[in-house]
Structure 1
Amino acid sequence: MGVAAAVALTLTACGGGNGDGDGTAEGSDVDFSGEASGTLKTLAFNPGDEVGQSRADLAEEKLGGVTVEMDTANFDAQKFATLAAAGNLPDVVQMDRAFIATYAQKGLLMPMDDCFAAQEVDAGEYWYPAVVEDVTWDGNIYAAPQFFQPSIIIVNKAVTEPAGVTADQFDTSKPDELVALAGELTQMKGAQPTTLGFDPDMPGSIATWFTVFGGGVMDDDGKPVIDDPKNVEALTFLKELMEAQGGYAEVSSFKQTWDVFGDQNQYVANQTAAGLWAQWYINVLAGAKDDVQLDAVPIKDLEGNPFAMAGGTALAIPAQAKNPVAACQWITTVTSQEAWEAAGDARAKTVTENDSINTGLFTGSPAADQAVRDAHVKESGNADFDKLITTAYDSLADTRTLGASPVGQPIDEAIKNAAGAALAGDKTPEQALADAQAQAMTAWDALDNG
């Protein structure tokens, strides 16, 4: 069963139920400030690295009377659907923020506003506004955001400097110039590229490019608006960008040969002049810090404003949760500033052991980000990586979101399919986005919006 089918199954499941009588689907009669006890079951939170483990350890310490049972497998919509239909959802679930409004709209998640109030968490102050908007539906906040990985343009000076090109020329506010620059820097062997001038990360970052051009994928109510003319402009630009570098099929085929996570990654091997990457990739490149020459610039909208796109996971309480009190306190503990500072300490120890570079943590909370940065992100002795790190942090001055929609996941699938079809030349950008709009509207029209 595919994701869309699994989500559809989930939406037929009954979202009520109050477990042992200590909660309701709305959470209105739960005393979230009460003492947490009993067994807490979690789904998809995996303390598999020092960042996750340190936070889980803190929660275990703080909630001494709670026994935590973790299903650490990645979130799976079909599994969630099956558990929901059986009335057997856990107390805590981690999922991509694009799913939150989907399940909230059908009553499968418990609003967390009362939980936050009881635990003295001011969501509007603690998290970036964009990540709160990601998990807000119909006036309620349904999850605690985790992480915010802004994307920046990482430039390979080993390719650009011999060509007389500087990092600031990779200016997304000047799309025509960027297409020309990418074409100039691309190196070909016959019909195949051997060095890309600029990798825009397609189709994964299509929503970011819509934002560059002033477009979007949903209105304030969450209704799809994928065929926005500004989105057509963005997709037309991306098609021109790919054609300037040999074509989408050739670019995609070439990228499949990259050793993205290895010692011979595309920056070491000079297979790219620049590309759009999320902040986490700086950690990968730090493993080859002695073999790369790098620079960075932020992504900008057409008016020249740098920005960061929201994205990441969140922790939510299913409406069927049998232990919502412990769930609330566990979630607010593992997403607290204290937890992130503990994670920062643990990450710093790992960085030292590996003789790497501390790139900080991007948590979704400006206060937590700053605390970790102040404690651990110092001048590394490598000016290139210091520039990358600073660029990523600076981009958080303007955080943006696509919004929240009960058809957020179908929208995401539709726009990525549209990007692939248009870039491959199977459809015009206009037709691809019109078809994507129709696809997303089918999901929207199937909702019970009354």
Structure 2
Amino acid sequence: MKRRWGVAAGAVAALVMVAGCGGGADPDSQSEDQPQFTTNPSGELNAWGFDNADDVGQARLDHAASTLADVTVKLDATGFDAQKLTTRLASGDVPDVVQMDRQFVATYAAQDLILPVDACFSAWGMDPATQFYPSVTADVTYDGKLWAAPQFFQPAAIMLNQRALKAAGVDAAQIDTSKPDELVATTKKLYREDGGKPTRLGFDPVATGQAPLWVLGSGGRLVDDQGKPALDDPANVKALAFLKQLTDAQGGFAKVKSFSDSFDFFGKGNQFVKDQVAAQVDAQWYVNVLSPYAEQVELGATPFKDQDGQPFAVSGGSSFVIPAKAKNPDAACAWMVNLVTEDAWMAAGDARAATLKKEGGVNAGLFTGSPAADQAIKAKFVKPTGNAGIDATIQTYYDVVAAGKSLGTSPAGQTIQSELNNAVSSALLGQKSPEQALADAQAASTRAYDKIVG
């Protein structure tokens, strides 16, 4: 559960080095060597990256194990790391399946270091076009092929501190991201400071953590249709200029960030309990964080809207890939598919319900990346809580999940996101104009892209 996106140091260099470890195979010869995927795999499966499995993860692992009785799973539960994968590929210690963020997938696909999995899904009778939200499928589609089994899509929306809104005489309808000038005026009305320091943010845009949401929602883009960086697109400038205007209205980005970094984000003194925000962009999982404090907050939510006034979200999450030199790709295919079936997700829903019954808390559902699973879990487990604000907040996320849009796939996907965050920071701090900040980010991203595809 990370509030802000980032990229591990040295990741690009590590990914480029991987190309020397057996990538770049001739496409024609590779297609002849594609494995045959079946529904009766056997043997040993080496999986890596399914780290710190919670009740949801463990239930799905148990489901897959029970389905694949002839497969012995050896799970390396440490987290994915690009440099570590480089080392493993170079040494011949190749996992059969790896869990990684979806923004890494095109990087490995462009170097022929992972296998396309269209045939894998076909073997199991699963149609990715209906199994996953379109934006989620787009996240792992590159060069016309599907390269991973995606999981999760927890969209962002705007959480509201109704107590603060009421005190300022502001209605939830006035928190509208499709009306920039009105939103700035509303933000000023909600903002509070003491001695020049913020004591309550009128609207926390989470500018670096949610930068792609603001850029794409404003009609911009991160990549072009071929996966090349497009950070210098003129439409992106509008998003950065507005974010600067919004943060300047609250004392400036330096003060906004310093104040928001001090929030007890996961604790009992969080920013909604302490009235430190009136509105904030948050991902769906944050409902679970706030639910224990339901009696201490007056929560609400409204969709993030694009420039046309329509609910909007950007997809993201993790996925499973099969390395090109996997020793048991058949078992890898079967295992990852059986981790994302509706049966697997319902088992996860049962596990989460049992945990909540034992420990307490509100069941806000699971946002799996699969529309049928999301709705089945909602129907069985998400019931009225008696708290109208919490119930409305949960429903808002269900309303926006289908409105997701992919960030776009690129061999330099993680670098593009990192450089976008750098551009946002420098522009909002006034160190560079939005145009210059994006031009510099474009240059850095293009260098990374050229190194990987070149």
User: TM-score with structure 1 length normalisation?
Assistant: 0.96
The answer to whether the 8 A contact 1:295-1:388 is kept is yes
Amino acid at match of 1:390: Q
| Matched residue, 2:172 | 167
- Please point out which of 4, 13, 19 is paired with 1:5: 13
Amino acid at match of 2:15: V
Amino acid at match of 1:149: Q
Amino acid at match of 1:347: R
- Please point out which of 401, 422, 426 is paired with 2:427: 422
Structure 2 residue 229 is the aligned partner of structure 1 residue 224: yes
- Please point out which of 248, 252, 260 is paired with 2:257: 252
Find the aligned partners of 1:178 and 1:321 in 2 and give their Cα distance: 52
| Matched residue, 2:238 | 233
RMSD: 1.5
Q: Deviations over 1:35-55 (max 9, x none)?
A: 222111111113621100000
Following superposition, the deviation at residue 28 of structure 1 comes to 5.0
| Matched residue, 2:81 | 76
Find the aligned partners of 1:285 and 1:381 in 2 and give their Cα distance: 15
Amino acid at match of 1:289: A
Find the aligned partners of 2:360 and 2:450 in 1 and give their Cα distance: 54
| Matched residue, 1:210 | 215
Matches within 5 A, 1:296-307: 296-307=301-312
Amino acid at match of 2:109: A
Following superposition, the deviation at residue 122 of structure 1 comes to 0.4
Q: Is the partner of 1:145 in helix, strand or coil?
A: strand
Find the aligned partners of 1:42 and 1:110 in 2 and give their Cα distance: 15
Q: Deviations over 1:201-241 (max 9, x none)?
A: 12011111011110001111101111111110000000011
Q: Is the partner of 2:226 in helix, strand or coil?
A: coil
The answer to whether the 8 A contact 1:26-1:111 is kept is no
Matches within 5 A, 1:106-117: 106-117=111-122
Following superposition, the deviation at residue 378 of structure 1 comes to 1.2
Matches within 5 A, 1:401-420: 401-420=406-425
Q: Is the partner of 1:111 in helix, strand or coil?
A: coil
**Structure 1 352/43 Cα, relative in aligned 2: closer, same or farther at 3 Å?**
same
Q: Deviations over 1:297-326 (max 9, x none)?
A: 000111101022110001111111101111
- Please point out which of 314, 335, 340 is paired with 2:319: 314
Find the aligned partners of 2:408 and 2:352 in 1 and give their Cα distance: 31
Amino acid at match of 1:225: A
Following superposition, the deviation at residue 85 of structure 1 comes to 1.9
| Matched residue, 1:277 | 282
Find the aligned partners of 1:43 and 1:444 in 2 and give their Cα distance: 26
**Structure 1 25/43 Cα, relative in aligned 2: closer, same or farther at 3 Å?**
farther
The answer to whether the 8 A contact 2:15-2:452 is kept is no
- Please point out which of 431, 438, 442 is paired with 1:433: 438
Q: Is the partner of 1:287 in helix, strand or coil?
A: helix
Find the aligned partners of 1:157 and 1:244 in 2 and give their Cα distance: 21
Structure 2 residue 17 is the aligned partner of structure 1 residue 15: no
Q: Deviations over 1:52-79 (max 9, x none)?
A: 0000001111111211111111211111
Find the aligned partners of 1:354 and 1:25 in 2 and give their Cα distance: 51
- Please point out which of 367, 392, 395 is paired with 1:390: 395
Structure 2 residue 47 is the aligned partner of structure 1 residue 42: yes
| Matched residue, 2:135 | 130
**Structure 1 62/314 Cα, relative in aligned 2: closer, same or farther at 3 Å?**
same
The alignment-based identity, stated in percent, is 49
Find the aligned partners of 1:315 and 1:44 in 2 and give their Cα distance: 9
Q: Which structure 2 residue ranges, 5 or more long, are not aligned? A: 1-8
Find the aligned partners of 2:135 and 2:308 in 1 and give their Cα distance: 20
Amino acid at match of 1:58: H
Structure 2 residue 273 is the aligned partner of structure 1 residue 268: yes
Q: Is the partner of 1:267 in helix, strand or coil?
A: coil
Q: Is the partner of 2:158 in helix, strand or coil?
A: strand
Find the aligned partners of 1:27 and 1:386 in 2 and give their Cα distance: 53
Q: Is the partner of 1:343 in helix, strand or coil?
A: helix
The answer to whether the 8 A contact 1:15-1:84 is kept is no
Q: Is the partner of 1:45 in helix, strand or coil?
A: coil
Find the aligned partners of 1:329 and 1:243 in 2 and give their Cα distance: 52
The answer to whether the 8 A contact 2:368-2:374 is kept is yes
Structure 2 residue 454 is the aligned partner of structure 1 residue 446: no
Following superposition, the deviation at residue 12 of structure 1 comes to 3.0
Following superposition, the deviation at residue 4 of structure 1 comes to 2.2
- Which range is displaced more, 424-433 or 86-95? 86-95
Find the aligned partners of 2:56 and 2:178 in 1 and give their Cα distance: 35
Structure 2 residue 359 is the aligned partner of structure 1 residue 354: yes
Structure 2 residue 159 is the aligned partner of structure 1 residue 154: yes
Following superposition, the deviation at residue 87 of structure 1 comes to 2.5
Find the aligned partners of 1:27 and 1:155 in 2 and give their Cα distance: 55
Following superposition, the deviation at residue 359 of structure 1 comes to 0.3
**Structure 1 29/162 Cα, relative in aligned 2: closer, same or farther at 3 Å?**
closer
Find the aligned partners of 1:26 and 1:275 in 2 and give their Cα distance: 48
The answer to whether the 8 A contact 2:16-2:452 is kept is no
| Matched residue, 1:21 | none
Find the aligned partners of 1:32 and 1:307 in 2 and give their Cα distance: 37
The answer to whether the 8 A contact 1:151-1:299 is kept is yes
Following superposition, the deviation at residue 27 of structure 1 comes to 8.0
Find the aligned partners of 2:273 and 2:138 in 1 and give their Cα distance: 38
Find the aligned partners of 1:246 and 1:128 in 2 and give their Cα distance: 39
